[in-house]
Chains A and B, each alone.
Chain A
Amino acid sequence: MLDFNRNHFELFGLRPAFRLSREQIDRAYREIQTEIHPDRFAHAGEAEQRLAMQWTARVNEAYATLREPFERARYLLELHGVQAMDARNTAMPADFLMQQMAWREQLETAKGKSDINALQRLEQAVRGEAEALERELAELLDERHDYGRAAETLRKYRFLDKLLVEIEAAYDEIDG
């Protein structure tokens, strides 16, 4: 029986791992939606329509979590009983923090000068680092099963994820 407590990976028929391709996740999502979307039950009884709505909302939620590397890693850690984003875990290596500050300064300068090229260079650097952290996460989560260290890496990743969002916003600001 379908059960709302089943975890996102089980729901999608995927092994619980960080290293999943976007194609795998997208395909599972589309296949489930094709079966359970409310439009498929537009002509069915009330009970089925209501269930279809609930399940689709549930599946959309799972998809939003699984497709984003940050959310997927955090969710995996949660399944292993680790609250990676617990407010008490704030310690960060000094050199990492220095790098963050330098990048943030670059972001402010690029914004101040409306310098798209500088923004693009910054984005590239941050993306490069984020990808390196994703590889590290994959190894810690999927091979070494070292969830404590994975949580640390994820907290670093969070910084970069947020910075990338701000870089995107800066593009919008410069554009208009």
Chain B
Amino acid sequence: MALLQIAEPGQSTAPHEHRLAVGIDLGTTNSLVATVRNGIAVVLNDEHGRSLLPSVVRYSPDGSVQVGYEAQAQASADPHNTIISAKRFMGRGIKDLPDAATLPYHFVDAPGMVQIRTAAGVKSPVEVSAEILKVLKRRAEASLGGELIGAVITVPAYFDDAQRQATKDAARLAGLNVLRLLNEPTAAAIAYGLDNAAEGIYAVYDLGGGTFDISILRLTRGVFEVMATNGDSALGGDDFDRRIYCWILEQAGLHAITDHDKALLLAKAREAKEMLSEQPSVRITAVLSGGELIDLTLTEDAFNDMTESLVAKTLLPCRKALRDAGLKPADVKGVVMVGGSTRIPRIQAAVGEFFGQTPLNNLDPDKVVALGAAMQANVLAGNKGQDDWLLLDVVPLSLGIETMGGLVEKIIPRNSTIPLARAQEFTTYKDGQTAMMIHVVQGERELVSDCRSLARFELRGIPPMVAGAARVRVTFQVDADGLLSVTAREMSTGVEAHIEVKPSYGLTDEEVARMLQDSYTHASEDMAARNLAEARVDGQRLAEATRSALAADGEALLTAEERAAIESLIATLERALAGNDLKAIKQAADALNQGTVEFAASRMDASVRRALTGHRLEEIDV
């Protein structure tokens, strides 16, 4: 019998070829990191054995930053500098935050996205989120004993392009290679579906700290297909806390209170909400800074009454999502609950009543998203599991452009499967018009003013023609992360303009590069060495991938000469990889990429044919 192997403590137990990748649930209230170890998804704990990291960041005047429990403990002592629920501000302007006045922060209304003035300077929500991600990255690397090749980061399904872009920026700022932005309910469905070998239609009801999502998925033989998604990106567990907080103020007859007391009572409100999931009533006590004593009792009934409208607000998106999917509640085979707030008994009951069945609770609603993200990260990192599965996700909100009269012409309807590309032609409005403003918007309403503006760019150099004669083709492309890029092209001349949709506040690539550079200088890391290491990893991956492609299909698809040519390109790359010349590695990798374009096309062709052979004959014959 073979002896069991035991690794040295702190060292990776994974075999050499296992690539370290994680899933990160960047939550409004708490964040988590998970990975797949020995084929099983596990949440990674901190050195105290705690899995959750409170999404709280505290900035001190000396520039030091505290994250998690440490920061949370200071929330009421230092409310202005302790940022809670930064996710609610991602990609949002001050006008998008109706409750800004009730929050203890000094908001700075920057174009596009609010910023917060702290003791350590003005911080954007992207920077705050990056601090949380950095801690999780360190936790993962310490616990896995190596550098991560990448991470899947989850976002609410109902996040629009601005919010997604902000999340991706935060990850880059934290030095994470983003393998994919994954929708939270979809991640939960993966964790749930793979765990239970489920088939059929499932609904994922995800009430997070600050966002609500509902997704309807069809699980068919290893394919997770999102049929429809809906939600409210400004509704979450925080709103339940705030209802209790307002109730406390009312009951205690308090009007103007200090920011310290505000933070204290909000924390008490959250505690009360959590306890009410376990017991029928809860006593709330607090001593305010002025010495006033708060001593109240909140019953579950009173809590249910004050939050009834919030619960009802979650059911409307459920109805819409089902309608978009062309389904009735009875078609749904199971309802997966995600997010700590779904522990509230009234929510369990309301969701159960709506779908006519008891919701599934066999996975921890706090962890299920991170676990699903880890599984997807494992696949995208190239660590093949035993079960093959595929994820088909959708864009949550329609994308379009502004036309005459401030109206929206939708180019990509909501719930279209990504990745996708779609084009539409537009024309000029005036005789001799030589430029066209392309205003990209996202939302379901007909008026531009009711939708979110994502980007504006101009197409210039249209030859002067009579109105209506020019043909401008606008192409929308949405990648697998759900991020949009837009190209406009005048067809007769070929004049072209292109934009990666980065909302005006979004960090430019140069800014991110500079910030990254700064952080490396602080960590006294050598940028050149890092670049070389990255190029080497990429090059090795490419050589390996090409070798396995040759092994699989070289015989069938290539002539002896073609094969020899590719093999010589691999050999050149491998020689470069053995050295330390960054430029040589990049050149050899580019050459190999170029040299395999046709082989790749033939392989893809063979794949499609393989997919169709099963039923081609019976169906092609009329």
Residues of A within 8 A of B (CB): 1-2, 11-15, 17, 24, 26-28, 30-40, 42-48, 51-53, 55-57, 60-61, 63-64, 168, 171-172, 175-176
Q: Are A53 and B479 in contact (CB under 8 A)?
A: yes
| Interface presence of B499 (CB below 8 A) | no
Q: Are A36 and B223 in contact (CB under 8 A)?
A: no
Tell me which residues across on chain A come within 8 A of B327, comparing CB atoms.
none
Q: Are B416 and A47 in contact (CB under 8 A)?
A: no
29 A-B pairs (CB sep. < 8 Å): A1-B601, A2-B608, A12-B612, A14-B620, A26-B220, A28-B612, A28-B615, A30-B225, A31-B611, A31-B612, A31-B614, A33-B392, A34-B611, A35-B611, A36-B604, A37-B390, A37-B392, A39-B480, A43-B382, A44-B549, A45-B596, A47-B597, A53-B479, A57-B477, A60-B416, A61-B421, A64-B417, A171-B323, A175-B319
Tell me which residues across on chain B come within 8 A of A176, comparing CB atoms.
316
Q: Are B605 and A1 in contact (CB under 8 A)?
A: yes
Q: Are B600 and A38 in contact (CB under 8 A)?
A: no
| Interface presence of B142 (CB below 8 A) | no
Q: Are A45 and B546 in contact (CB under 8 A)?
A: yes
Tell me which residues across on chain B come within 8 A of A48, comparing CB atoms.
545, 549, 596, 600, 603-604
Tell me which residues across on chain A come within 8 A of B223, comparing CB atoms.
30, 33-34
Known A2-B601, A56-B419, A60-B416; contact A42-B615, beta-carbon cutoff 8 A: no
The distance in angstroms between the C-alpha atoms of A31 and B417, with both chains bound, is: 15
| Interface presence of B593 (CB below 8 A) | yes
The distance in angstroms between the C-alpha atoms of A42 and B542, with both chains bound, is: 11
The distance in angstroms between the C-alpha atoms of A44 and B621, with both chains bound, is: 36
Q: Are B592 and A36 in contact (CB under 8 A)?
A: no
Q: How many residues of B contact A (CB 8 A)?
A: 56
Tell me which residues across on chain A come within 8 A of B50, comparing CB atoms.
none
The distance in angstroms between the C-alpha atoms of A100 and B611, with both chains bound, is: 44
Tell me which residues across on chain A come within 8 A of B106, comparing CB atoms.
none
The distance in angstroms between the C-alpha atoms of A2 and B609, with both chains bound, is: 9
| Interface presence of B255 (CB below 8 A) | no
- CB A43 to nearest CB in B, in angstroms, measures 3
User: Nearest 9 A-B pairs (CB), nearest first?
Assistant: A43-B382, A13-B612, A35-B607, A48-B600, A47-B600, A2-B605, A31-B611, A42-B380, A57-B421
Q: Are A39 and B601 in contact (CB under 8 A)?
A: no
- Name the interface residues of B53-89: CB closer than 8 Å to any CB of A: none
The distance in angstroms between the C-alpha atoms of A123 and B417, with both chains bound, is: 27
Q: Are A14 and B619 in contact (CB under 8 A)?
A: yes
- CB B562 to nearest CB in A, in angstroms, measures 14
Known A15-B621, A45-B600; contact A53-B419, beta-carbon cutoff 8 A: yes
Q: Are A61 and B545 in contact (CB under 8 A)?
A: no
Please give me the residue from chain A that is nearest to B380 by CB atom: A42
| Interface presence of B571 (CB below 8 A) | no
Known A47-B596, A57-B421, A172-B320; contact A36-B608, beta-carbon cutoff 8 A: yes
| Interface presence of B530 (CB below 8 A) | no
Most chain-A Cβ atoms within 10 A of its Cβ — which of B381, B391, B418, B604? B604
The distance in angstroms between the C-alpha atoms of A163 and B118, with both chains bound, is: 54
* Chain A, interface SS category: helix
Which of B416, B421, B480, B593 contacts A46 (CB under 8 A)?
B593
Q: Are B391 and A39 in contact (CB under 8 A)?
A: yes
- Name the interface residues of B393-443: CB closer than 8 Å to any CB of A: 416-422
Tell me which residues across on chain B come within 8 A of A60, comparing CB atoms.
416-420
Tell me which residues across on chain B come within 8 A of A28, comparing CB atoms.
612, 615
The distance in angstroms between the C-alpha atoms of A42 and B220, with both chains bound, is: 22
Please give me the residue from chain A that is nearest to B479 by CB atom: A53
- CB A116 to nearest CB in B, in angstroms, measures 12
Binary contact track B376-387/A, C-beta < 8 Å → 1, others 0: 000111100000
Tell me which residues across on chain B come within 8 A of A30, comparing CB atoms.
220-221, 223, 225
| Interface presence of B610 (CB below 8 A) | yes
The distance in angstroms between the C-alpha atoms of A51 and B608, with both chains bound, is: 12
Tell me which residues across on chain B come within 8 A of A12, comparing CB atoms.
612
The distance in angstroms between the C-alpha atoms of A149 and B614, with both chains bound, is: 35
Known A13-B620, A27-B615, A34-B390; contact A57-B545, beta-carbon cutoff 8 A: no
Q: Are A36 and B612 in contact (CB under 8 A)?
A: no
Known A24-B619, A42-B381, A42-B382; contact A33-B420, beta-carbon cutoff 8 A: no
The distance in angstroms between the C-alpha atoms of A110 and B384, with both chains bound, is: 55
Tell me which residues across on chain A come within 8 A of B392, comparing CB atoms.
33, 37
| Interface presence of B541 (CB below 8 A) | yes
The distance in angstroms between the C-alpha atoms of A93 and B419, with both chains bound, is: 42
| Interface presence of B616 (CB below 8 A) | yes
Q: Are B605 and A42 in contact (CB under 8 A)?
A: no
- CB B377 to nearest CB in A, in angstroms, measures 10
Q: Are A32 and B382 in contact (CB under 8 A)?
A: no
The distance in angstroms between the C-alpha atoms of A32 and B392, with both chains bound, is: 12
Tell me which residues across on chain B come within 8 A of A53, comparing CB atoms.
419, 479-480
| Interface presence of B622 (CB below 8 A) | yes
| Interface presence of B136 (CB below 8 A) | no
Most chain-B Cβ atoms within 10 A of its Cβ — which of A28, A44, A55? A44
